[in-house]
Structure 1
Amino acid sequence: MSDTVNCSILLTDLPLPERPAAAKAAGFDAVEFWWPFAAAVPEAGEVDAFVAAIQDAGVRLTGLNFYAGDMPAGDRGIVSWPGREGEFQANVEAVVAIGERLGTRAFNALYGNRVEGASAQEQDDLAVRNLAFAAQAVARIGGVVLLEPVSGAPAYPLTKAADALAVIDRVRAEHGVDNVRLLADFYHLAVNGDDVPAVIAAHAADFGHIQIADAPGRGEPGTGDLPLADWIAASRAGGYAGPIGLEYKATQADPFAWARD
């Protein structure tokens, strides 16, 4: 299958180290994760255990998020968070080290919410610098940084593809960095009211990654009314050749039955 299972949102009935093997048993050869550690810079033993879980399962790690703060508490990244530059940059080095060990080449940088005490311009200027730093770092291993619009987080300023693309253009113009790419999450774009077919028609060849879930509900394909198969086919026809990230919430005993059907 050309799909990659997001093991941070799927297979959550299992301990995290067991999820890559469960994805393999379900018929998938690739997985992706949000940042799987509590700290921006995990202990060496934690990293070794995570790497071993991927390698022992016989799957590829196609994508990994940078540290995004306290996600359960509502954080959605620290890229644009003044005062946390050092933390982010230290995390970048940790991410690159994991990517080098596992052959991972796509790294998702959640932009971050608007925070009190900082202007939007201050946050956006910082984000551009941090994204350039991250992109230059992952370039050492042939990687790309992904930037995505997100739904369900009112303080997160990137809600449509054009918002993320404008940031990507700034990084390129101001830092000469050309390996920051749009993560087209069709669920987030659709529920935020974006024109997904238009985004695909204009930008599919430049997508860094695609993720899917159905809407409403963020469940498996077929549980809502999004034409996901049509959008994926249009993206392939438009030049996207990468995997499709399965980033939905399981609503059924077999969350992959739709793929086998």
Structure 2
Amino acid sequence: MARDTERYDVNLSILFTELPLLERPAAAAAAGFDAVELWWPWTDTATPPQRELDALRRALADAGTRLVGLNFYAGQLPGPDRGALSVPGHESDRFRANIDVAAGFAASVGCTALNALYGNRVDGVDPAVQDALALENLVLAARAAHGVGATLLIETLGEPESPRYPLVSAPAAIAVVDRVNEETGLGNAAFLLDLYHLSMNGEDLPGVIDRYADKTGHVQIADNPGRGAPGTGTLPLDDLVGRLRKAGYDGWIGLEYKPGDRPSAEAFGWLGR
């Protein structure tokens, strides 16, 4: 694996969480990174006050860090939720209210990747009804993302950790990507290829890379088991990242792993710095 931080970004929703949100960009910069990503930072609201958006924008700018990935509102994450866009009622309404907020914030900081987590299956609701709602909301999100020059990302999650999340295979996520692109005609929906989650589902990771690198808009990594830093588990991340590059993927690779029982600043020794 490349022993530099040139194309790696730090996920500030899983690393540096021992610090307040507004201090994390500077901590990432001090660790040698100039690019970061975030889950939606305000889990209690899809529409935070403008002053909070402005404060995060200033923190990113003051640290000299670029936001390269942002989730749309996804409910309580970390927590029991796995997205909102396919969940009828208040959660879907919150997702729709969040679309322009998230896209506008992304545009203001130069972020060009917006991740839309699909949401869990709901008892008593026909999955076909949820899927129709999801497509409707994803089309709205894709159009908003296109309006600010961004890609809409669709992600698989790990089935053992997310038993009610329906997208637990690369083909399932790719099918949603294709449906959204067909519906909008914009071509800006893409696959978020998370090697950790795919490995949790027992997928053939080299095969997934070979088949879907051209539909991949963002990559995230963590080792398995444990969701720790590269080298703490058994995944051949050196080989897999190299395979991605050879397949033509030249985008960001998000470090979405847990730091373990040490400060986040000490969780990057695998980079050999």
- Could you tell me which residue of structure 2 aligns to residue 44 of structure 1? 50
- Deviations 1:199-231 (CA, angstroms, capped at 9, x unpaired): 101111221100000000000000000011111
* Separation in 1, partners of 2:79, 2:224: 24
* Separation in 1, partners of 2:155, 2:206: 17
Runs of 4+ residues over 6 Å off in structure 1: none
Give the AA of the match of 1:16: L
- Could you tell me which residue of structure 2 aligns to residue 121 of structure 1? 128
- Could you tell me which residue of structure 2 aligns to residue 255 of structure 1? 267
Quick check: 1:206 aligned with 2:215?
yes
* Separation in 2, partners of 1:86, 1:249: 31
The aligned runs of 1:29-178 (5 Å cut-off) are: 29-37=34-42, 38-83=44-89, 84-151=91-158, 152-178=161-187
The aligned runs of 1:191-230 (5 Å cut-off) are: 191-230=200-239
Shift of 1:131: 0.8
* Separation in 2, partners of 1:174, 1:143: 17
User: Is the 1:206–1:240 contact (alpha carbons within 8 Å) kept by the matching residues of 2?
Assistant: no
Give the AA of the match of 1:107: L
Shift of 1:170: 1.5
Shift of 1:172: 2.2
- The alignment's TM-score, normalised by the length of structure 2, stands at 0.93
Give the AA of the match of 1:196: L
* Separation in 2, partners of 1:175, 1:117: 30
Which shifted more, 138-147 or 213-222? 138-147
* Count of equivalent residues: 261
Quick check: 1:28 aligned with 2:38?
no
Shift of 1:117: 2.6
Give the AA of the match of 1:61: L
Unpaired segments ≥5 residues, structure 1: none
Which shifted more, 167-176 or 149-158? 167-176
- Could you tell me which residue of structure 2 aligns to residue 15 of structure 1? 20
* Separation in 2, partners of 1:205, 1:169: 13
- Could you tell me which residue of structure 2 aligns to residue 3 of structure 1? 8
Shift of 1:79: 1.2
Bigger relative contact order, structure 1 or 2 (CA pairs below 8 A, ≥6 apart): 2
User: Is the 2:146–2:186 contact (alpha carbons within 8 Å) kept by the matching residues of 1?
Assistant: no
User: Is the 2:73–2:94 contact (alpha carbons within 8 Å) kept by the matching residues of 1?
Assistant: no
Q: 2:179 aligns to what SS in structure 1?
A: helix
Give the AA of the match of 1:122: V
* Separation in 2, partners of 1:44, 1:98: 10
What RMSD over aligned residues (CA atoms) do the two structures have, in Å? 1.1
* Separation in 1, partners of 2:171, 2:49: 38
- Deviations 1:118-171 (CA, angstroms, capped at 9, x unpaired): 111011111111111101001011101111110111000111111101111122
* Separation in 2, partners of 1:209, 1:125: 25
Q: 2:84 aligns to what SS in structure 1?
A: coil
- Deviations 1:82-112 (CA, angstroms, capped at 9, x unpaired): 1243321210100011111100000111100
